[in-house]
A and B are shown apart, each in its own frame.
Chain A
């Protein structure tokens, strides 16, 4: 089945640090990748939709200058949390799909981000 790899799986860093998270589709070309955030005991919240070669589409309330997304190839999208603060601590999950219409999404393992 489709495999999506996310790295790193766990990050602990000081406030003010920028953190980059990578999402790779290992055995298929993902035209669309999604970035989610999930706080404890809450549902997934879509942050942005990333299409290869174009600018990401951010959901309302998500700061594009804070959460930089780059989808440079059909197998790699990155999310950079710039100048992270404790309130950015969360579980960040990416997913990828062959196309955005009828195919299911395949999720990476997630990145647990803790900002001290």
Chain B
């Protein structure tokens, strides 16, 4: 089982729709969580950190469920510019060190 798993998609939704995807992680001692977006042939860019109480940034809402070990990203009123690959990032804690682990990404395509 991968340490961080994401549905690769692609998710193909119409402009204006609400879309959500999850990311599961296996290490229960994971400390911090992030969502990044990566456009084709570009570097990943931080979208938002994910806090225990859940957090919102405009049309984007991130949530953490420690009991079930997943994080989620919800995008409301999707725009064409939201088309990208969304990467889930988990900082997993092991006995001697922590390790940052990237999911393989979920591809999102918004159609007019």
Tell whether, in the assembled complex, residue A93 and residue B102 are in contact, meaning their CB atoms are under 8 Å apart.
no
Q: Determine the chain B residues whose CB is within 8 A of the CB of A67 once the complex forms.
A: none
Q: Determine the chain B residues whose CB is within 8 A of the CB of A104 once the complex forms.
A: 34, 46, 49, 89
Categorize the interface residue count of chain B. Answer: 20 to 34
Bound CA span A107–B102, Å: 13
Total count of chain A residues near the partner, CB < 8 A: 21
Q: Determine the chain A residues whose CB is within 8 A of the CB of B31 once the complex forms.
A: 101-102
Interface residues of A, dominant DSSP: loop
Q: Is A109's beta carbon under 8 Å from chain B?
A: yes
Tell whether, in the assembled complex, residue A106 and residue B98 are in contact, meaning their CB atoms are under 8 Å apart.
no
Q: Determine the chain B residues whose CB is within 8 A of the CB of A103 once the complex forms.
A: 32
CB distance from B93 to the nearest CB of A (A): 8
Known: A43-B102, A43-B105, A104-B49. A91 touches B41 (CB 8 A): yes
Bound CA span A42–B87, Å: 12
Tell whether, in the assembled complex, residue B98 and residue A107 are in contact, meaning their CB atoms are under 8 Å apart.
no
Residue of A nearest to B46 (CB): A104
CB distance from B54 to the nearest CB of A (A): 17
Flag B25-57 by CB within 8 Å of A: 1 or 0 each.
000000110100000011111100100000000
Q: Determine the chain A residues whose CB is within 8 A of the CB of B91 once the complex forms.
A: 100-102
Of the candidates A43, A93, A95, A107, the one whose C-beta lies within 8 Å of that of B103 is A43
Tell whether, in the assembled complex, residue A107 and residue B44 are in contact, meaning their CB atoms are under 8 Å apart.
yes
What are 24 of the A-B contact pairs (CB < 8 Å)? A6-B43, A42-B104, A43-B103, A44-B44, A44-B87, A44-B102, A91-B41, A93-B44, A95-B44, A100-B91, A100-B97, A101-B91, A102-B31, A103-B32, A104-B34, A104-B46, A104-B49, A104-B89, A105-B46, A105-B100, A106-B46, A108-B43, A110-B43, A112-B41
Which residues of A come within 8 Å of B, CB atoms? Answer: 6, 34, 42-44, 46, 91, 93, 95, 100-110, 112
